[in-house]
Amino acid sequence: MRLIVGLGNPGAKYARNRHNIGFMALDRIASDHGFAPWKAKFQGQAAEGRLGREKVLLLKPETYMNNSGQSVGAALRFYKAEPDDVIVLHDEIDLAPAKVKVKHGGGHAGHNGLRSIHAHIGDSYARVRLGVGHPGRKELVPGYVLKDFPKADDDWLDLVLRGVSDGAPSLADGDDARFLNAVAMQVNPPRSGTGTKGPAKDKPQQTTKPATPKAPETSTKEAAAPDNRSALQRLADKFR
């Protein structure tokens, strides 16, 4: 059994908060992959289904973000699963919007939801870090993550959620590279062209004008007139 957890806060008030992108991702996966209806379970909302060859429980803790570990721990104990079977999807302020990365183990980097999960099941679970950007100053972070995504973010947010859903079977199967590729295919799809230039249009061939035939060359000297002199006159002219 794979346990895929999305982090967020319960209630319509928080539904579009940056902090709730984990909830959004799970809702998209459940809808696209035909999961059973959500049911109140493990101090949260749970839905069962399959992703590829893996049986999966999707879990949205309703303990509020800071106590997410209570819900995750309860589900883990019920299924007698190991922390390695858990994948947590959460907002990540240290990644630019639309950036997605996968991490295994390590610290919680100050994320209160992860901090709580660490306390209940340890740190050897996987995380899908969904970039939402940083407000610029540390003291602005709480207010930033508890604000709704602006309408201007709708396009990239939808593409990320589509990509996460497309890659969910690979994620459940432990194939991080294929999962991230599915996300990239939505967020940064390849160009429709092949990258090669199409055939150049044929240029009209230059036509060579036929050489104008040269006019017959003429001498600069006029042709001699017929000599009608008598032999005696020609002889006399020679000695003049």
**118 in active site:** no
Distances in Å between the alpha carbon of 136 and those of 94, 97, 131, 154?
10, 13, 14, 21
The domains of the chain, with CATH numbers, are 2-187 (3.40.50.1470)
The whole-angstrom separation of Cα 46 and Cα 149 is: 25
| Assigned token pair, 153 | 């973010």
Task: Indicate if the pLDDT at residue 79 is higher than 70.
Answer: yes
- Express each pLDDT in 176-189 by its tens digit: 999 999 999 999 99
Percentage of the chain beyond pLDDT 90 is 79
pTM for the model: 0.79
Confidence band for 239, pLDDT divided at 50, 70 and 90: low
Taking the CA atoms of 72, 78, 79 and 82 in sequence, report the sign of the dihedral they define: positive
Q: What is the DSSP letter of 184?
A: H
Cβ-proximal residues to 149 (8 Å cutoff; 6+ apart), any chain: 16, 17, 18, 132, 157
**Beta-bridge partners for 51:** 54
Question: Do 112 and 63 form a contact (C-beta atoms < 8 A)?
Answer: no
- Express each pLDDT in 99-144 by its tens digit: 999 999 999 999 999 999 999 999 999 999 999 999 999 999 999 9
pLDDT at 200: 42
Catalytic residue (choose from 19, 90, 111, 118):
19
Q: What is the mean pLDDT of the chain?
A: 88
Question: Do 89 and 22 form a contact (C-beta atoms < 8 A)?
Answer: yes
